Amino acid sequence: MTAHYDQTPVLQTKNLVKRYGSVTAIDHADFELYPGEILAVIGDNGAGKSSLIKALSGALIPDEGEILLDGKPVSFSSPMEARALGIETVYQNLAVSPALNIADNLYLGRELLKPGILGSVFRMLDKKEMERRAKEKMTELGLMTIQNISQAVESLSGGQRQGVAVARSALFGSKVVIMDEPTAALGVKESRRVLNLIKEVRDRGLPIILISHNMPHVFEVADRIHIHRLGKRAAIVTPQSHSMSDAVAIMTGAMDVEASEGEAA
Amino acid sequence: MSSTNPKPSTAVLDHDKVADQASTYVAKFERHETPLQRFKKFLHHYPIAAPLIVLLLAVISFSVIVGDRFLHPFNLSLVLQQVTIIGVIGVAQTLIILTAGIDLSVGAIMVLTSVVMGRMAVNHGIDPSLSILIGIGVGALAGFINGLLITRLKIPPFIATLGSWNVFFALNLWYSKSETIRSQDISNIAPLLQWTGQTIDFFGARLTYGSLLMLGIFFLIWYALNWTAWGRHVYATGDDPEAAKLAGIRTTRILMSVYVLAGVVCAIGAWVLIGRIGSVSPQAGTMTNLDSITAVVIGGCSLFGGRGSIYGTLIGALVVGVFRNGLALAGVDVLWQEFTVGILIISAVAIDQWIRRGTA
């Protein structure tokens, strides 16, 4: 599937500013995520990339500027509000509960209740329906290889746990999925599976913001790469137009964007 | 990665592609399973098995040591009555231990609320049913205070409830003026308070309403823990509070609800206590703290939170009840009962650690 750069960005920021005392973490940052794309966000430590991501996922309230979802200005004061608007985040520590099973984890915090009086009065969980839908989603994403849906998450490998967290975001995210370092703790084969999973989610129509320090992974899956430096966007490159070393050079300030573009052309 | 790789993006693709063809063989160790290891695996798979085996062994040994007196229906109903209080308080303790907390004040809340119920009804002439409700309200308030200390002031549960234990117990002595309300006074003025001690014939066995109340509480909490979103959230909060928070669970609210509910359950335990001993004594139920923790731990709950079941606690309470009763019948001094309960609690945790090691 190809991204639609002629359409309205799904998620956009204009002139976003966040200051902590005398430190400016986000300095008039612009950001656009288009429908159907994987946008990688890279930046050196301290570049303000996590502040930007926190602002997008509702974990941080910006001081100035605006956030647009489907072209309409929005503001969230908590991750829950962002989530309610369809922005799902897969955290680096995954936010899964090891002792609970896969289905329980997929629906954690958003459980389905039985229809009728059992649900409305007795608040009874609809375990069957949750398991059915969980199985459906896991199968759809090609994750049903090993898992028994009522298996405790602690019995899964790191990559499979990541799979559970990604499946949860794909199940509930209607607009955007933000993934924070999804391959950081994984081995080679597991990373591969997760990267395929990310593409799978994109191909099903959900645009993805991928935060990663792993350049090979970024260059493999990203459609575009947002390079963050000194609190704002330094450049947007694509894996086709620039090499990894160019990206690192822009990220660290060793090269400015105009120079790199001249070189690429 | 600069000069040799002009197009690193594709070069890296190649090296990762190799991983796809990698063998799926994962190092396997030869399995020489001894019967002991297999037993360990079995216990790990069925957490309820260990307490059941202990209960069975205890019943068998005591019927051998003590003889017929132990298995006599009258004695068994006595065990059940003793277990009723540990069981009810054990429910409260289970809820809290599931959230990775511990409540040392459960016994004190129970005694305090029993004194409140008794004095309200007997000394102040308030309607007995209203007195019970006031007692339950005091229990809820006590739990609420514990919850506030733990969620707002961020005091570790052990310390918070160690402190509140002393405070609640002192309040209990102050409010009761260290006086016992006599059984006759209660049965004259407020017989409802002793209702939980009345027995009914249930297929030949003599059960108290208190025991039935306990089973009802077990069922309700079992349902809440296993069939409602709240129950899932209690487990998730105890398992990994940060993950639970990120998943959208308001862990502070969950903790507050657990401590308040535990207080309410303790107050119901107070009603059962009055039925059991007939009178209201500010010194009653002093062993309940340790016994409730013992019941929960023997029942297989992890003190680290998130793991365990409510029916495990029921079996754990039966184990404690059987040991206390059996030892008493065998003519063993009370101090050795305490000794045994101490050994039980240490063994339960040791076995739990042993089961978890290497089988995860």
pLDDT on residue B102 = 95
Which residues of chain A have a CB within 8 Å of the CB of B12?
A: 216, 219-220, 244
Contacts of A141-150 with C-beta under 8 Å, sequence gap 24+, read A141/A166, A141/A167, A141/A170, A141/A197, A141/A200, A141/A201, A142/A196, A142/A197, A142/A200, A143/A167, A143/A197, A147/A102, A148/A102, A149/A101, A149/A102, A149/A103, A150/A101, A150/A102, A150/A103
- B360 pLDDT higher than 50: no
Strand partners, A210: A40, A179
Residue A3's pLDDT is 64
Read off the pLDDT band of B354 (50, 70, 90). Answer: confident
Q: What is the ipTM of this complex?
A: 0.82
A189 Cα to chain B: minimum distance (Å): 6
CB-based contact (8 Å) between B331 and chain A?
Answer: no
Residues of B within 8 A of A242 (CB-CB) are: none
* pLDDT (0 to 100) of residue B117: 96
Q: For residue A193, what pLDDT is reported? A: 84
**B226: buried, middle or exposed (CB in 10 Å: 19+, 13-18, 0-12)?**
middle
Collect all residues with Cβ–Cβ distance below 8 Å to B100 and sequence separation of at least 6: B238, B241, B303, B304, B305, B306
**Torsion of the alpha carbons at A16, A20, A21 and A22, rounded to the nearest 10:** -60
Domains of chain B in sequence order: 47-356 (1.10.3470)
* Residue A250 amino acid letter: I
Cβ distance A93 to B243 less than 8 Å, yes or no, reads yes
Which residues from chain A sit within 8 angstroms of residue B5, using beta carbons?
243-244
pLDDT, tens digit, 9 for 90 and up, residues B310-341: 999 999 999 999 998 999 888 888 888 888 88
pLDDT at residue B305 above 80?
Answer: yes
Mutate to test the interface with B, among A97, A111, A126, A151 (most CBs of B within 10 A): A97
**pLDDT tens-place string over residues B40-87:** 878 877 878 888 988 999 899 999 988 888 888 888 888 888 899 999
Question: By mean pLDDT, which of A171-180, B99-108, B194-203, B229-238 is the weakest?
Answer: B194-203
10-residue averages of pLDDT along chain A (265 residues): 77 92 90 93 88 88 92 88 90 84 90 89 90 86 72 84 88 89 83 88 91 92 93 90 90 73 45
Q: Do A110 and B248 touch (CB under 8 A)?
A: yes
The pair of structure tokens assigned to A175 is 């607009």
Q: In this complex, do A243 and B8 lie within 8 Å of one another by their Cβ atoms?
A: yes
Residues of B in contact with A125 (CB under 8 A): 227-229, 232
Distance (Å, rounded) from C-alpha A72 to C-alpha A69?
5
Which chain A residues have a beta carbon less than 8 Å from that of B247?
95-97, 105, 108-109
Note the pLDDT tens digit of each residue in B116-169: 999 999 999 999 999 999 999 999 999 999 999 999 999 999 999 999 999 999
Domain segments of chain A: what residues? 11-93+157-264, 100-151
pLDDT at B225: 96
Of B12, B227, B233, the CB nearest to A220: B12
Examine the pLDDT at B13 and tell me if it is beyond 60. Answer: no
Q: Using an 8 Å CB-CB cutoff, list chain A residues near B242.
A: 93, 95
Tell me if chain A has a CB within 8 Å of the CB of B8: yes
Which residue in A has a C-alpha nearest to residue B240's C-alpha? A97
CB-CB neighbors (< 8 A) of A127 in chain B: 227
Q: Pick from A104, A109, A124: which is nearest to B228 by CB?
A: A124
Grouping H, G, I as helix, E, B as strand and the rest as coil, residue B121 is: helix
Given an 8 Å threshold on Cβ–Cβ distance, is B8 in contact with A244? yes
Q: Provide, rounded to the nearest whole percent, the portion of chain B with pLDDT above 90.
A: 56
Residue of B246, B301, B359 to mutate, interface with A, max A Cβ within 10 Å: B246
Q: What is the pLDDT of residue B138?
A: 98
Q: Which of A91, A93, A100 sits opposite B232 (nearest CB)?
A: A100
Distance from CA of B219 to the nearest CA of A (A): 13
Query: How far A201 CA sits from the closest chain B CA (Å)?
Result: 20
| Interatomic CA distance for residues B218 and B228, integer angstroms | 15
Q: Measured between CB atoms, does B21 come within 8 Å of chain A?
A: no
User: With bands split at pLDDT 50, 70 and 90, how would you rate the model's confidence at B23?
Assistant: low
Query: Token pair for residue B245?
Result: 């928070």
Q: Do A80 and B248 touch (CB under 8 A)?
A: yes
The nearest CA of chain B is from the CA of A242 a distance in Å of 9
At a CB cut-off of 8 Å and minimum separation 6, what does B127 contact? B121
A20-34, A115-129, B91-105, B294-308: range with highest mean pLDDT: B91-105
Chain B residues inside the 8 Å CB shell of A245: 1-2, 8
pLDDT at B100 over 90: yes
Domain spanning A11-93+157-264, CATH class: alpha beta
Query: The whole model's pTM is what?
Result: 0.85
Whether the predicted pLDDT of B6 surpasses 50 = no
CA B46/CA B1 separation, integer angstroms: 53
